[in-house]
Structure 1
Amino acid sequence: MSDTPNPLKESVGRYGIWSHGLRAEDPSLRGEIGEAAAELEELGYGAAWLGGSSAARHAVPLLETTSALTVGTSIQSIWQYGAAESAAAFAEVDTAHPGRFVLGLGISHAKLADQYRRPYSALVAYLDALDEAGVPAHRRVLAALGPKTLDLAGTRAAGAIPYLVTPEHTAQAREILGAGALLAPEFKVVLETDPNRARTAARDTLAMYLALPNYTNTWLRLGFTEDDFKDGGSDRLIDTFFAWGDDSTIRARVDAFHAAGADHVALQLITPGSREGLPREGWRRLASLLAA
């Protein structure tokens, strides 16, 4: 993949939105999700990433109300959806909305998948099955963290969508992936200048991830220690994985990912006091500071 042109880089642009709320299962929210997607496109975001173990069907309300927005799963767990099911769903959505859906795949976590065994080998076998079913490599990306999976993302997919990483990890990932692969890390933003409010919201969000070794092992490799994981996360840990402060500070934190080699940054807006929903006013503020 790394030696061929990568049209996904152009289609997703420099910024996207990562959101659980855009993946809502409730049919009554379909219209609201579609309206939000249309606004994201108008605001200049190039992609919407559906948080959690999402599937192709979750992309449909967004694709139906937009004309150019790329919509991707971030991620679809290989344990929750079989390769044959995934390939059939991809074909259905791609037929209706050619070239605009991206299949983001990941191995999830042992604590979240009972059948979790030999995850790397399982992912390779899954990609083999997708190849046989005709799902093109340039329309799938991997939630890769470690070197082996990052290499796989560069050779068997269009690139990588790492979650909860740093600019330092991004630089390492770019070296492994090569220049041609898409590198689109997720990054969390709290539009709050008060340190206590910002860090409280961040710790509420980070709590579940502190119990998942796939993340904490990556952070240890990046120079954090076990002490950083205590009591909801040290200030150092929180301030690394969440951007907060004034507009210029947040913009600089996002820019650091691009400087480190990212093509695109998938921004997850964390709103104090709220975990889910569609924080549209926040997305507008974020678009404004990114355009400044």
Structure 2
Amino acid sequence: MTSQAPGTPQQNIGRVGVWAVQLSQDNAESPDENRAAAAELDELGYGAIWLGGSPRVARAVPLLAATRRITLATGILSVWNQPAEEVARDVAALEPGAAERFLLGLGVSHAPITEGYAHPYAKMVEFLDGLDSAPVPVPPARRVLAALGPRMLKLAADRSAGAHPYLVTVEHVAQARAALGPDRLLAPELGVVLDADLVRARQTARAALAGYLQLPNYVNNWRRLGFTDEDFADGGSNALLEALFAIGDTVDVRTRVAAYHEAGADHVALQVLRPDGALPREEWRELAAVLPLS
């Protein structure tokens, strides 16, 4: 971001963060591990933790308590899951010191996985109206939208701090920056597979991508970027995988993160993927040693 416009977030979320669905879930085997992992990410210097899987605001509370500096963000909360007034009430209930480190990420989800899905753009507008009119509003500077297409990107620029697009390419980052303008936050997610074995790494990436290939919002966005039905067959073409994921060693990841920054991203949220689905704490440490976190 080049300036502190009215809709941009007050907190500094740094250049690189972590996106993890595991941190928004209960860990029955080790209930303290998520808090310990969040505290370590804070100490390592990451700028934000994005809680995946459409978590409620309450999921951020124990991690905010376990950390001192890092921002906690929902990545993303579906606008179909709760009324806006209830979300605003949850945000207002955050402890004052913690509230300053919370960012509300919102998205319209997808028709195949959402009952009653219709008119997603209008639904987002209605939801933002609800946040604005709540007894304690959630101001634009404390919310971002999971925007992919032109209309939602414009809405993100007009009524939020910016955009948190998921499963996007370097080219999309450049397009999103042009749509948002210079003064809005652009914080794309980037999938990462740290594995020198390319065949195995692609298998990990394809397993992560499989469900998203069934969701029209993502597929339509990839079509706008020039991908075709051939790229969506058999778990995704190598070209699609290479465009959506950083695959290889830490140098490969650093190169891709730099490309996202050069294309216009202010912040890159890294989703480190493992075949076993475990928290990638060792990988986070390795990446922290080579990436420009501040």
Q: What TM-score results when the alignment is normalised by the length of structure 2?
A: 0.94
- Structure 2 contact 56–77 (Cα < 8 Å) conserved: yes
Q: 1:274 aligns with which of 253, 276, 280?
A: 276
- After superposition, the Cα gap between the structure-2 partners of 1:171 and 1:87, relative to the gap in structure 1 and judged at 3 Å, is same
Q: 2:215 aligns with which of 207, 212, 215?
A: 212
* Secondary structure in structure 1 of the residue aligned to 2:99: coil
> What is residue 153 of structure 2 aligned with on the other side?
150
**CA deviation after TM superposition for structure 1 residue 247, in Å:** 2.4
Query: Which stretch of the first structure deviates more once superposed, 186-195 or 91-100?
Result: 91-100
The one-letter amino acid paired with 2:252 is T
- After superposition, the Cα gap between the structure-2 partners of 1:30 and 1:92, relative to the gap in structure 1 and judged at 3 Å, is farther
2-structure distance, mates of 1:157, 1:290: 28
Identical residues among aligned pairs (%): 52
2-structure distance, mates of 1:25, 1:96: 24
Q: State whether structure 2 residue 138 is matched by structure 1 residue 135.
A: yes
- Structure 2 contact 27–33 (Cα < 8 Å) conserved: no
The one-letter amino acid paired with 1:23 is S
The list of structure 1 runs, each at least 4 consecutive aligned residues, that deviate by more than 6 angstroms after superposition, is: none
The one-letter amino acid paired with 1:70 is T
Q: State whether structure 2 residue 250 is matched by structure 1 residue 242.
A: no
Unaligned segments of structure 1, at least 5 residues: none
- Structure 1 contact 9–263 (Cα < 8 Å) conserved: no
Q: State whether structure 2 residue 203 is matched by structure 1 residue 171.
A: no
Query: Which stretch of the first structure deviates more once superposed, 98-107 or 238-247?
Result: 238-247
* Secondary structure in structure 2 of the residue aligned to 1:12: coil
Query: Which stretch of the first structure deviates more once superposed, 241-250 or 142-151?
Result: 241-250
> What is residue 118 of structure 2 aligned with on the other side?
117
1-structure distance, mates of 2:95, 2:7: 18
The count of corresponding residues between Structure 1 and Structure 2 is 290
Richer in helix (by share): 1
Unaligned segments of structure 2, at least 5 residues: none
2-structure distance, mates of 1:258, 1:9: 20
- After superposition, the Cα gap between the structure-2 partners of 1:30 and 1:155, relative to the gap in structure 1 and judged at 3 Å, is farther
The root-mean-square deviation of aligned C-alpha atoms, in Å, is 1.9
1-structure distance, mates of 2:30, 2:163: 30
Q: Deviations over 1:153-193 (max 9, x none)?
A: 11100000000001111111111111110000000111111
* Secondary structure in structure 2 of the residue aligned to 1:8: coil
1-structure distance, mates of 2:281, 2:4: 38
- Structure 1 contact 5–180 (Cα < 8 Å) conserved: no
2-structure distance, mates of 1:98, 1:73: 13
* Secondary structure in structure 2 of the residue aligned to 1:93: coil
2-structure distance, mates of 1:94, 1:124: 28
**CA deviation after TM superposition for structure 1 residue 95, in Å:** 3.5
* Secondary structure in structure 2 of the residue aligned to 1:102: strand
* Secondary structure in structure 1 of the residue aligned to 2:55: coil
- After superposition, the Cα gap between the structure-2 partners of 1:94 and 1:107, relative to the gap in structure 1 and judged at 3 Å, is farther
